[in-house]
Structures are given as C-alpha cells and as structure tokens.
Structure 1
Amino acid sequence: MRFKIGTSSWAAPLLCAWFALTVPHIGSAQEPLRVLTTVGMIADVARNVAGDCAEVQALMGSGSDPHLYRASASDVNRLARAELIFYVHPALEARLAEVLRDMRGRVPTVGLVDAAYAREELLDDPDEPGAVDPHLWMDTSRWARIIPVISDAVIEQRPACASDIRARAEAYTSQLAALHDWVTSAIGSIPEDRRMLVTAHDAFEYFGEAYGMEASEAIEGISTESEASIGDIRAVARFVVENQIPAVFVETTINPRTIEALVAEVRSKGHDVRIGGELFSDAMGRQGTVEGTYIGMIRHNTMTITEALGGEVPPWPNALSDWAHAWGLAPSP
C-alpha cells in the first residue's frame, strides 16, 4: 500500500467548511477530556488508562475496515470537537491520513506507532519493502508501548489526573504482560508442525513473530484495498496442501468469500481443510461484549487459533482474574 499526502481533493475544503461553522467548546480542567480514536483497539487502552478523566470514543465501530474507511462530514465534525485524537499509522488509516494531518493544527493529534517506535523496530510490508506493517496490536508486548504515550498525552491536558492515570497505566501494563505470557503458552501448546496461520489478509505478522508461529500466509496483503486474485488463492492453497494445515481463518472485517474460495480450492486438491473460526484483526467485537475489549479480542483470537490447530488453552492468568470477573467469565476460559 502506498501512502500519499494530498491526493484527496475534497478533504481540505470539507475541513475548512466545518471549521468555519464549528467552534469546539474547550473543556475545563474539571471536565472529562474529549478523546477520539480511529480504531477500537486504541479506544479501549485509552479508557483503561484515563478512567474518569476522559470520555473516549472510537470513530470506527465493529466490522469497520480501517484500510478502506473514509471520513464523512459527521466524522470531521467529531474530530474537530475532540480535545485529543489518537490514530495508529497512515499505513492503516490510509484514507483518513489527509484529514488527520490537517487536524494537527487545531487539535492535538498523535500517531501512536510513530510516537512509540523507531522505524527499525517495525516489521515491513512483505509486498512493499520499506512500507510499515501497522498491525502492532497483535503482539500485546508491543501494543503495551502505546500506554505511556496515551497517558502522557492525557496528563498534559488534565494534569490534575496525573497520579490516577499513572497508577492505572501501571496496572494495565501488568495486565497486558500477563496476557502476553498466556498467549505464548497457548500457542506454544500447538504441535510445532501445525503452527501455521492462514488468514484472509496479512494482519498477523506481529502475532506470528511474538508467539512462535512457524509460518503465516494470507490471501490479501497488509492493506485490503486490492482484491485477491485467483492466482493469490491458488498460491495459498498450495501452501495449505503442502503443509497439511487442518484449518484456516476468516476475519470479521473481510468478506468470507475469499476464505471460502480457498477452502474449495484446497479440497479440490484432495486435502480436507476447514474454516477454524472467525478472528478479529482490524476491528474488535461489538462494544459492550467481551470481544469488544482489547484483552477480550486477543483472548478470543488465541483460543480460536489454539483449539483449531490442535493445541490446549491454558488456565486464565490470576493477574487477569479481576478482568474476567468483571465480564462474568469463569477463571479459566
């Protein structure tokens, strides 16, 4: 995917029109900070870190594909009224890039990947050397590095909340560390020759690197802007057959027809493969559900992959027992 600034002719006039009509109310130090994030994975971290000191909303909901998402007039209005904006990276929110860039002169706007990482620490897009793979939330230890960026940005706007935010940030960092260890144990229980992850689009490279997947393949690349070809499906089908992979996975933001075509192609070659379940990749589950939280999203993906590929889900960590209790879950998933 190529990111180019300035290619959208409508964005700047639309912003100017809304800025002329809209004068955002600047909140006082006692009011919750109005925080707007692009994706839910950021919003959930921000809610956990900021607590009552911020009112956090996500621009995109469950099932939204951030690679393809365009800002509507109401989205621009929401962005203009925010007091703090967080996004991942232009490699993810490609069609919002110009709008986010233009917001920086009006609202504090933070690209979390660039704020938390040096370029050499990030994985490349395998289809476009030099381009960034933005799916860092698939590795909980990497995603935890956005916590201090978020906490510092909120504290700058609400300094009276500093003590509470720092304590919450420390507690949430510990939760993600426990989650990381649990995912490592779960994926490590899969027989080594089955630790191969096949998905509709290439969002799991960080997951594979962090948790010991021997290989991963995807029909579509890092971005979902181009549709998969018959050649792409056949190439991945050969990989599945050659490695006798028992299950492949479909993502909630991707049309299932791509994976269904892959399954049909594999079966035509004499290998019985099944869809092992649905994974959350570029969006979490519905708000108000377990999977609508970052921890719940990773928990669901890990359980689905582990069980489909022949591993054993380990007991849920004690460090996350309060989280499980809050969602009415048994101590062990």
Structure 2
Amino acid sequence: MIRRSFLLALGLVTALPLMAWADTPLKVVATTGMIADAARQIGGDQVEVKGLMGPGVDPHAYRQTRTDIVAMTRADLVLWHGLYLEAQMGEFFHDLERKRTVVAVAEGIDKSKLRAHDTYDNKFDPHVWMTPALWRDVVIEVQKALTAARPEAAPIFEANAKAHLADVDRLTAYAETTLATVPDNNKVLVTAHDAFGYFGDSFGFEVLGIQGISTQSEAGLNRIGELVDLLVDRKITAVFVESSVSDRSIRALIEGAAAKGHVVQVGGELFSDAMGEDGTYEGTYLGMLDHNITVIANALGADAPARGMDGKLSAGF
C-alpha cells in the first residue's frame, strides 16, 4: 500500500499530525467480502475493516446478528451493497443511516448498465461483481465513501484505488483472452442460481440458473425437468456448484440426466455470492474471479492455466 511517508516525500500531502493518520484507523464495516476487500485495498493502513459475511455465507438470506449491530453502530463508516442484495437487512440500514454514515456502494452504478431483476419490478440484478468491468464502478464508489469519511487521506485512497483498478482491468483482459478459447457450442453455464448473468453478458455465455437471481426463490420440479431435457438435448456435460448455495438441485440435474442415459459431471465449484477462505488468494476479489474464470474455461473445453492469471490459485482447483 502507498505509505504517508512516500507521499510526503513527493509533496502530495502535508505533514498532518500522526494521530490523524496511522494511529487512528477509520473503522469500516462492510457487508460482503467483496466490498470488504475493496475497502482494504483502497484504505490500506488508514482503515480497519470488518466484513460481516464470510466464506460460504449467502447475502440474500443474511440477517444481522447482535454482534453485527454493535459493530455497525460503533463504526465510522458502514458499506453495504444495495440493489436488494441484502434484502433481509434493508430496513435496518435505512434506520442506521440516521445515526451513522451508511453507503450502498452498488447503488451508484449507472442503472443503464444493470440487468432487470427477474422477480421484482423496478429492481436490478445485484451480482455486479461477476464482471470486473462493472465492479470497477463499485471500487470507485468505495473510494468516494472513504474519502468523504477521511478527506485528509484522499491522496492515499486515490493512489491505492488506481493500483487496484489496474489489477481489475488486467483481470478483465485475462477473462476476455481465456474465455474466448472456449468452443462456441460449449458456452453454456449451468449453475445453482442466476448469479452469473453479468458474466454471461460480458463474455458471451448463455447462463442457466436453477433458481432465480435470489436464492430465496424456489427451484421447482418443472424447472429442474426443463433443464434436464436441455442438458440431454444439447449434450451439455458440465454443470457448476456454488460455494454459498446448496448443491442439492445441481445433484438432481445430474441424476435426472443420468436417468435418461446422459452423463453430466460437476465442472467445479464457483464462488458466486461469497469469496474463498480468509487469508487465501481466493479470499480476495481478484482471486475469486480468477478462480471462476479459470475453472469455467477449463471445464468447458478451453486450455487455461491451471493456477490462473498469475499462478496464484490454490492447487487442486
């Protein structure tokens, strides 16, 4: 991260008292791991970030705990996603914003870039992190929120955001190059719920989720039956489970296809609504998407590097 001493040497900041900088980090609470990672990347040692939803946690169904409430009421800044992702927490955030600085960072995206929600009128698909080109807008909103909360650190936040966005753009280039090598007739992504719509729009994949945009929607027998027939008719041989969604419906697809004499395998586990384990590369935004891109490409017939964009993916993925 960019250090204050470095910026001082360049004359980009003034010699503010140390207490205003390193000794009192800004206390930030973020709902999802993706937002927490953006805050850490941009904030550096100017922030102390607590993420509420860890690996495997489904934000569609998450409700705040007593510990969460205490953390948020004591925070300098609360960052949530919005776009009806944290549907069970929306009322709480609207109440909290009367007492604390609360920012829904995905709400700042130009609505013309968003997909309509499949269930609710005048709402949008919240899974914007699935394509790096769209997630960069959220990173910029996080930078704005941190800058408003600590204006004196604006040069640090700007420099860190610039560096992080360069990596996000590099990830976009990797995705475009790698996913273009998937044969056209294999560009069908079958997952547990419809979290990959933006991914499909960006990289030319047909995306079929058993459940809708929210994991709270029901996966009916008719929908499973339709998808089984599609797998058989189109000779699709790989489907994908998700780290934050039960694999029960995906297993039903595989069994249904087998009953019709068609073999379908799990192409891999994807990170949909939550990142990987804390402390791992997959536990960062870059690692989460690098994993998904690489696993999808290899499972659907491309020749992607097994360890991803920079060789950092965990062995065995």
Q: Same fold (TM over 0.5)?
A: yes
The aligned counterpart of 1:62 is 55
1:238–1:300 Cα change, 3 Å = same
Corresponding residue to 1:159 among 151, 154, 160 = 151
The aligned counterpart of 1:74 is 67
2:136 matches 1:149: no
Runs ≥4 in structure 1, deviation > 6 angstroms?
none
2:181 matches 1:177: no
Structure 1 Cα separation of the partners of residues 306 and 173 of structure 2: 11
What are the superposed Cα offsets for residues 256-285 of structure 1, whole Å, 9 maximum, x if unpaired?
A: 111101100112122211011100000001
Gaps of 5+ in 1: 1-27
Amino acid at match of 1:239: L
The aligned counterpart of 1:3 is none
Structure 2 Cα separation of the partners of residues 188 and 279 of structure 1: 19
Is the partner of 1:95 in helix, strand or coil? coil
- Structure 1 residue 118: deviation in Å? 2.6
Structure 2 Cα separation of the partners of residues 148 and 260 of structure 1: 39
Cα contact 1:200–1:259 (8 A) shared by 2: yes
Is the partner of 2:27 in helix, strand or coil? strand
The aligned counterpart of 2:40 is 47
- Structure 1 residue 121: deviation in Å? 2.0
Cα contact 1:88–1:112 (8 A) shared by 2: yes
Amino acid at match of 2:104: G
Equivalenced residue count is 296
Amino acid at match of 2:93: L
Amino acid at match of 1:237: V
1:328–1:193 Cα change, 3 Å = closer
What are the superposed Cα offsets for residues 69-117 of structure 1, whole Å, 9 maximum, x if unpaired?
A: 01112111111011111111142100011111111111111111212x2
Amino acid at match of 2:75: A
Cα contact 1:218–1:236 (8 A) shared by 2: no
**Root mean square deviation of aligned Cα:** 2.0
What percent identity do the matched residue pairs reach?
38
Is the partner of 2:241 in helix, strand or coil? strand
The aligned counterpart of 2:256 is 265
TM-score by length of 2: 0.88
Corresponding residue to 2:269 among 250, 274, 278 = 278
The aligned counterpart of 2:78 is 85
Amino acid at match of 1:274: Q
What are the superposed Cα offsets for residues 141-190 of structure 1, whole Å, 9 maximum, x if unpaired?
A: 10011122111211222222111111111111111001001011111110
The aligned counterpart of 2:243 is 252
Amino acid at match of 2:98: G
Structure 1 Cα separation of the partners of residues 162 and 212 of structure 2: 35
2:92 matches 1:99: yes
Is the partner of 2:28 in helix, strand or coil? strand
